[in-house]
Amino acid sequence: MRVPAFLSHRRDTSLARRLLLLQALVVAVVVLTATAVAYLDARQAVQQAAEQETTAIVESLGDSPLVLEAVTGPDPTAVLQPYVEQVRADTGTSFITVLAPDRTRFTHPDRAQIGRSFRGTIAPALAGETFTETYTGTLGPSVRATSPVVDADGDVVALVSAGITVAAIGQDLTSAVPGIAGTALVTLAVGALGSWALSRRLQRQTHGLSPAQLARMVEYHHAVLHAVREGLLLVDGERRVQLVNDEARRLLGLEGDPAGRHVTELGLPRELTALLTGQRTAVDEVHVTGTRVLVVNQAPPRAGDASAGTVVTLRDHTDLQALTGELDSVRAFAESLRAQAHEAANRLHTTVSLVELGRTQDAVDFATAELASAQRLTDRVVGAVGEPVLAALVLGKAATAHERGVLLEIDPATAVGETGLPGGDLVTIVGNLLDNAIDAALAGDPPREVQLAAEVTGGRLEIRVEDTGPGVPDDALGHVFERGWSTKDAGGAPAGLGRGLGLALVAQAVRRHGGTVTVRPGSGAQFVVSLPLPARVPAEAAS
C-alpha cells in the first residue's frame, strides 16, 4: 500500500513507536510498583513470622512447670540460664529473658545484664496477657513478645520475654531480595519483548503512520465514503458485511448499519445473495431488486485472494433501464413505420400498375381495402386506449408482430383512459409482456396470435396478455420473474447482459406501484397485471 502524498511526511512519531514507548513506561511502572509491593509484603511477612515465633516461645516457657518451679525457687538464674540459652540457640531468637514482676532479670544472653532492670513494656503481661511490640533494648531495636508466668493461684509470679533484633530480621529480608529482583527483571524483560513484538506488528499494519496521519486518513476515508455516488460494500471472507456506504444502503434498501451481519440476513434477492455469498468475480452484472435495477461489480481486494473477502460496487441503472425500454419501444415503432412505409410503397406501386393496366376499379378496391384494414386497427387502439404512450406502444407492437407473422389482437372490451401511472412503467410492463408473448407465439404452431386486454375495474388497471405459444411449465412458475430466467436461447450472450431481464423488470415495476402479476401455466401463457390507480385519478375518469 502506498501512502498518499499528503501523508508522506514522517516528522511525527509513528503510532507504533508511541505505543512502544507508552508500553515500556507502563511496564516499567508496573514492575517497579509490583517490586516495591513485593518487598513490603516480604518485610511484613518476615516481621509477622518473628512475632509469631517469639509469641510461641514465650507462651511455651510461660506454661512450662520447670520455669514456674525455678522462679519460685531460691536461685532462678542457676536453673533457668542454661535451659533458656539452649532454647534460644535452638530457636534462633536474639534473646530470651525471664524476669521478676519488678523487672529484675533472671536470664539474659549477656550475663552482665542478669540482675539488672528489664527494658520494655510489661504492664499487659502483669495483667495476664501475652503481647508483642518493637522496642529498643540492650541489643538494639527488636521485635519481642512478653508473656506472664502464672502460679496455681492465678498470680503472676514472673514474666518471659523473647525477641529477634531488627538487624536479624533485615538479614532474613535481604535473603528474599534476590528472588524479588530476579522476578522483577524477568517480568520487565518479558514485558519489553512483548511490547516490541506488538509494536512491530502495529508498525506493519499502520504502515508507520503517526496518530495525526491516521486521523486524517480516517477523515478522508469517511468523506469519500459519504460523498461517492456509487454504492460500496465490503464483505469479509466469512461473508459478513464489514463496511457499507450511504449510497449502497439506499440502493439496497438497507435499514441502519448492516456491518457485522451475514449477507444472507440482508433480505436481498436470491441471485444477488448468491453472488455475494459465492464471492466470484463479477463485471457489470445486472441485478434486479425490489425497486431498482443495479449494475454490480465484485472482486477481491487483492488479486487471487478470495479469503480476504470482496469489494462490491453498485450503480443505479433503474432510470437508464426505463429509458432504454422506452427507447426500444420507440425504435420498434420506428422500425414498424419503416416496414409500413416499405409495404405502402409496394401497395402504391401495385395500385399504379393496376391503373396503368386500365383496371381502375381493381386499383381502387385494392387501395381502399388496405387503407381500411390499417385504419381499423388504428381506430380500435386509439378508441380503446386513451393513454398516448400506451396507444403508441400498442400500435408499434402490432406492426412489429404483423411483420414477424404474428397477429396482435386488441380485446373488444379494452377501455383505458388517462391512468395517471408513469408512462415509463406502463411501457416497461406492457412492452415486455408483448415482446415475450410475440416471441412465445413464434415458438408455437400456427395460427400464431397474441391478445391484449386492458380495462379499469374498481379503481385498478387490469392488463391481460395471452399468446398461443408453448406456455410456461408448472415447475417454472416460481422462477418466471427472476432475473436470468428465459425460455429463449441465450445466443451466446452472457448472463446479466439483458437475457431473462424483461419479466424481472415487469415484476419490479408492478411491485413499485403496489400491484400484482400472475401467470397461468400450461399451453398458451396468460399474464395478468393488476395495478391500483393513483388516488388523484378517479376510476370513472380513467375509464
333: pLDDT confidence band, cut at 50, 70 and 90?
A: low
pLDDT at 282: 85
- Alpha carbon 144 to its chain's center: 67
Q: How far apart are CA 287 and CA 275, in angstroms?
A: 10
Report how far residue 13's alpha carbon sits from residue 203's, in angstroms, rounded to the nearest whole number. 11
DSSP class of residue 421 equals S
Residue 453: which of 405, 398, 384, 540 has the closest Cα? Answer: 384
Asked whether residue 84 carries a pLDDT value surpassing 80, the answer given is: yes
Q: Above 80 in pLDDT, residue 95? A: yes
**Predicted local confidence at residue 530, as pLDDT:** 92
Is the distance from CB of 59 to CB of 128 less than 8 angstroms? no
SS3 of 117, please?
strand
Q: Is 79 helix (H, G, I), strand (E, B) or coil?
A: helix
Predicted local distance difference test score (pLDDT) of residue 325: 58
The strand pairing partners of 453, in sequence order, are 464
DSSP sequence for 234-256: EE-TTSBEEEE-HHHHHHHT--S
What's the mean pLDDT in 430-442?
Answer: 88
DSSP one-letter code for 478: G
Run of H or E residues at 150: strand 140-150
15, 206 contact by CB (below 8 A): yes
Tell me the mean pLDDT in the region 159-171.
78
Listed as own residue / partner, the contacts of 446-450 with beta carbons closer than 8 Å and 24 or more positions apart are: 447/407, 448/405, 448/406, 448/407, 449/406, 449/407, 449/408, 449/409, 450/401, 450/406, 450/407, 450/408, 450/409
Q: How confident is the model at residue 7 (pLDDT cuts 50, 70, 90)?
A: very low
Looking at the predicted structure, is the pLDDT value of residue 455 above 50? yes
In the chain, the percentage of residues whose pLDDT exceeds 70 is: 75
Top-confidence residue, 283 or 142: 283
Residue with grid cell 399474464, as numbered in its chain: 527
Pairing label, strands 293-299, 310-316: antiparallel
Contact 296, 268 (CB under 8 A): no
Question: Which residue from 369, 418, 365 is spatially nearest to 390, judged by alpha carbons?
Answer: 418
Tell me the average pLDDT across 435-455.
Answer: 88
Segment 392-403 mean pLDDT: 80
Closest Cα to residue 424, out of 512, 527, 525? 512
Q: What is the pLDDT of residues 52-76, one digit of tens each?
A: 888 888 888 888 888 888 888 888 8
How high is the pLDDT of residue 345?
74
User: So what's the pLDDT on residue 125?
Assistant: 87
Q: Using pLDDT thresholds of 50, 70 and 90, give the confidence band for residue 395.
A: confident
Q: What is the pLDDT of residue 196?
A: 74
Collect all residues with Cβ–Cβ distance below 8 Å to 116 and sequence separation of at least 6.
104, 105
pTM (predicted TM-score)? 0.46
DSSP state of 512: H
What is the predicted pLDDT for the residue at 418? Answer: 79
CA 237/CA 250 separation, integer angstroms? 24
User: Helix (H, G, I), strand (E, B), or coil: what is residue 506?
Assistant: helix
> Residue 433: pLDDT above 80?
yes
Dihedral sign of CA atoms 98, 100, 103, 105 in order = negative
Residue 351 has pLDDT above 80, yes or no: no
Round the average pLDDT of the chain to a whole number and report it.
77
Residue carrying the nine cell digits 420507440: 330
Q: Which of 54-68, 392-406, 497-511 has the highest mean pLDDT?
A: 54-68
Calculate mean pLDDT across residues 346-363.
Answer: 78
Phi first, then psi: give them for residue 95, nearest 5 degrees.
-155, 155
